[in-house]
Amino acid sequence: MKPLKIGVAGLGTVGAGVVKLLAAQKELIATRAGRPIMVTAVSARARGRDRGVKLDGLIWYDDAVALAHDPDVDVVVELIGGADGKAKALAEASIAAGKHFITANKALLAVHGAALARAAEANNVTIAYEAAVAGGIPVIKVLREGLVANKISRVAGILNGTCNYILTVMREEGRGFSDVLADAQKLGYAEADPSFDIDGVDAAHKLAILAGLAFGVRIDFESLHIEGIRRVSALDISFAQELGYRIKLLGIAEETEAGISLRVHPAMVPEQKPIATVDGVFNAVLLEGDYSGPVFLRGRGAGEGPTASAVVADLIDLARGICVPVWGMEESALEEARIVPMAELASAYFLRLMVVDQPGVLADVTAILRDHGISLESMLQHGRKPGEAVPIVLVTHETREAAVNAALAGIAALPAVLEPPALIRIEPQ
């Protein structure tokens, strides 16, 4: 049987992992794919670097785009990263050359996915991207194939292992954000520049892909509401535990009568819910189908093994001739997403204030909340420290985001309030 020949662009952790996996599981993969899958060409920036894999006999290209024009390459695997630059150029060149394209690049798909899908359909090739979202969790296959008969109403998940690790350690050890982030960098769980992770952008890229696939819409990435975890304090986590919640950075996409709500932000989740129990570097995704009901997926969201496993799963599909439309349907059938403004979100809220402990402060705060139509479910204040700074925690009933923001602006202006109030949304799931 004729082998499927692939070219791999990018030989970092994942790229080297793909080459290693294909060699280690050579016979098993050939049996399951119906034919051998072999690497014939590679591209990376530094030739002399030891990557722990044998590259003897492979054609090496300094320019990754050249892989698209190699007649001995059937499928291009892009593991470079980034929404633009070399990764985008390679995607466009591969598709134009009539080669199937596999990628782990969530930024590329979140920003340019619709245009690339149109090009792929025009050239009768497919784009496979199981590795782009949640590493070793087969959530793309579940949405595109397993739940294809369902109308999906909600996607929610822990989509970034770095943030989940930081929040887990903060909760378990009572340490502050900056301290835990520094340790995560030393352990290799966080990049030297962790902004994409801790500011929620990485999770947002993944959510945009899941939402487009789940709802059959074109997503404008700029329309997502994105918050990271920089402002989550050890104090917030402690109060959350006292109230029976755990704080997670969640990506949430919901289809409502008004449109689609797309948001990434820290959220309080009841501690007995499955997603609240997902700790460390693990990811999890909850899908709500009208016939399937809830489907919960949990696993490693990054790393050499899980991500390489997802890439090779896509390769085996292609070797078998399984080519699913990029977004689960023809690109022309996708609708433009109607995004619900964040101000219209209805939620319960955790509010933490740092105030000077003096008579009348709480009355002033509750008066402002009352004036904005916000009612309280509970309040926490530990002890008295007259004249000193103390935290007050307020938990609201469900209300509109716009009302909460307006109330917090008034509360922040009170002389006794010492710092901007902390706001964390409470998610029932």
Which one from 86, 106, 206, 248 is the annotated catalytic residue?
A: 206
DSSP state of 184: H
> For residue 16, which phi and psi values (nearest 5 degrees)?
-65, -35
Active site residue 26: no
> For residue 109, which phi and psi values (nearest 5 degrees)?
-75, -35
If one counts every other C-beta atom within 10 angstroms of the C-beta of residue 34, the result is 12
Element containing residue 336 per DSSP (H, E): strand 335-336
Q: Are 410 and 399 in contact (CB under 8 A)?
A: no
Q: For CA atoms 402, 396, 389, 268, give the dihedral sign.
A: negative
**Spatial CB neighbours of 169, under 8 Å, sequence gap ≥ 6:** 175, 180, 183, 184
**Closest among 378, 349, 348, 360 to 414, alpha carbons compared:** 360
CA distances from residue 332 to 124, 218, 422 in whole angstroms, order as listed: 14, 10, 43
3-class secondary-structure state, position 276: helix
Q: Are 162 and 206 in contact (CB under 8 A)?
A: no
**Closest among 393, 401, 402, 381 to 422, alpha carbons compared:** 393
3-class secondary-structure state, position 386: coil
Catalytic machinery residues: 206
